[in-house]
Amino acid sequence: MTETKAIGPFLKQVRYVRGLHLDDLAGKVSRSSLSRMESGKIDLTSSRLDEIIQALGVTFDDFGYRGMIGLSLYNEWPKVEASDWEPEAAQRVLKYYESLKEKDFANPFLDMVITAMSELLWVKETGAKQFRRPAIQAMNKYFKRITEMTQIEETIIEKILYLVPSRTSVKWVRTQFDFTMANADQVQPKQKDCLLTMVCSTGEQALIEKKYDIVDEMLADAQTLASMLTENPTVQYNLRALAALKDVVVNPSPETRYQFAQIIETTLLLFPIETYNYMRK
């Protein structure tokens, strides 16, 4: 990779930490050109770089200050992403993003990360099953308008979906789903796959809450998204398992339990043997 192409990913992270999306920079640089620059597909001339830096609202001094985008946090995010995540890593992430806050400079992205990390740490400490109301409202205000997510946003969504009511998270899903359907040719498979995971997680949470109308809505959306992706056995399994599990909850009987047991039989490693044996009864 040439030196100019190596700048692309760096620019992308500056954009992320500023809480900006590609469309936010329209006017200075075209969306498609910026996307290609960030991915290293085209070289950056000095004039192009100057335009992008102006559009990002930073100076060359800011741009040269690597700490601004927190590259050191790349070693911390995997520790936060893990299912058994490390509170110490979350504390370091929180402290870093709090240090980025500027007086009289609104940054919804930073506010969202700070609120989410603070509340996740509170949940971890107290054993609470759900975010507190002000945090839920803050998350809803941010995510209900998001049509495409950064890696950081994806990580946070994954962490908080089971900590907010499904009536709230389904709004986030609907915004992204409608955008994806309207721009199906432009949305990348990775984004569709991420949305599919989000849809299934929301369906699972709705099932726990016995919001069966949301479960049905999420199953329909998941089937639509799955049809747009390359055949994936894991995806098909997840869809079948969620549908069968709903039948067990709504219509508990030996037949529905047996059908669910038939599905999980192929993945016994994911379930205790007692669960499988119970379902077989």
Instruction: List pLDDT tens digits, range 114-149.
Output: 999 999 999 999 999 999 999 999 999 999 888 777
**Type of residue numbered 110:** L
Per-domain residue ranges of the chain: 3-68, 70-250
Choice between 65 and 224, residue whose per-residue pLDDT is larger:
224
The full 3-state SS of 203-254, as one line of letters, equals HHHHHHCCCHHHHHHHHHHHHHHHHCCCCCHHHHHHHHHHHHHHHHHHCCCH
Q: Tell me what the pLDDT averaged over the chain comes to.
A: 77
Task: For residues 11 and 36, give the distance between their C-alpha atoms in angstroms, rounded to a whole number.
Answer: 12
Instruction: List pLDDT tens digits, range 144-186.
Output: 888 777 667 888 888 899 899 999 999 999 999 999 999 988 8
**Type of residue numbered 11:** L
Task: Give yes or no for residue 206 having a pLDDT over 50.
Answer: yes
Q: Considering the domain 3-68, what is its CATH architecture? A: Orthogonal Bundle (1.10)
Task: For residues 143 and 169, give the distance between their C-alpha atoms in angstroms, rounded to a whole number.
Answer: 9
Q: What is the DSSP letter of 24?
A: G
Contacts of residue 100, defined as CB under 8 A and 6 or more positions apart, other chains included, come to: 17, 68, 70, 107, 110
> What's residue 44's pLDDT?
61
